[in-house]
Amino acid sequence: MVHIANESVLLLVDIQQRLMPSIFEGDRVVKEAVRLARIAQILDVPIIGTEQSPEGLGENVVDIKMLCDQTLTKHHFDGCEDGLVEALPGQRRHVIVAGCEAHVCVLQTCMGLLKRHAEVTVVVDAIGSRTERNYKAALHRLAEAGATFATVEMIAFEWMETSKHPRFRDVLALVR
């Protein structure tokens, strides 16, 4: 599956201040999610963030929050149960997903999206869990459910399609 920018929306799941210190390689997850969101902004891909019970886990990290076009508060682990489907731009049925935790909110939200016939791609270098075991188990279940996997750079180059893209150099600066 090739990802087309004008058919995509970026979903950043629960990259929250109080959660990230507990995430295995949490700094990498934040760094890659921010890089992906900056690329999405350059290429006019809408960005939706979610925050799981922010009264307990805090808001999303500042660098993530400021890149989101909108942020949804949720209490279900599956964001679809708290208004995510309604928040998706109607013509964009391909959801590119990054965030935490891979085996809880990312997994359940992706399952909810797949159940509602969205195309889901999980950005493996921009998701995380508290343990590597939970991360790997989530990837296994997501693959079985029909999600596809990509990296930040794969998404970036597929969104641009060509080195002649008018924003190629801007995106390339973030890839290097």
pLDDT above 90 covers what percent of the chain? Answer: 91
Domains of the chain by residue range: 5-175
pLDDT of amino acid 90: 81
Residue reference for tokens 């350059």:
42
pLDDT of residue 5: 86
| pLDDT of 176 | 83
Q: How is residue 118 written in tokens? A: 């969205």
Q: What is the mean pLDDT of residues 157-168?
A: 94
Which CATH code fits 5-175?
3.40.50.850
pLDDT in tens, 82-109: 999 999 998 788 999 999 999 999 999 9
Give Cα separations from 96 to 55, 58, 61, 126, 169 (angstroms).
Answer: 26, 23, 19, 11, 22
Q: How many CB atoms lie within 10 A of CB 80?
A: 22
CA nearest to 122, candidates 103, 145, 139: 139
Retrieve residue 12's tokens: 């950043």
pLDDT in tens, 29-65: 999 999 999 999 999 999 999 999 999 999 999 999 9
pLDDT of residue 2: 60
Are 66 and 90 in contact by the 8 Å Cβ rule? The answer is no
What mean pLDDT is predicted for residues 5-24? 95
Q: Which of 73, 18, 77, 82 has the alpha carbon at shortest distance from 49?
A: 73
Question: What pLDDT is attached to residue 1?
Answer: 57
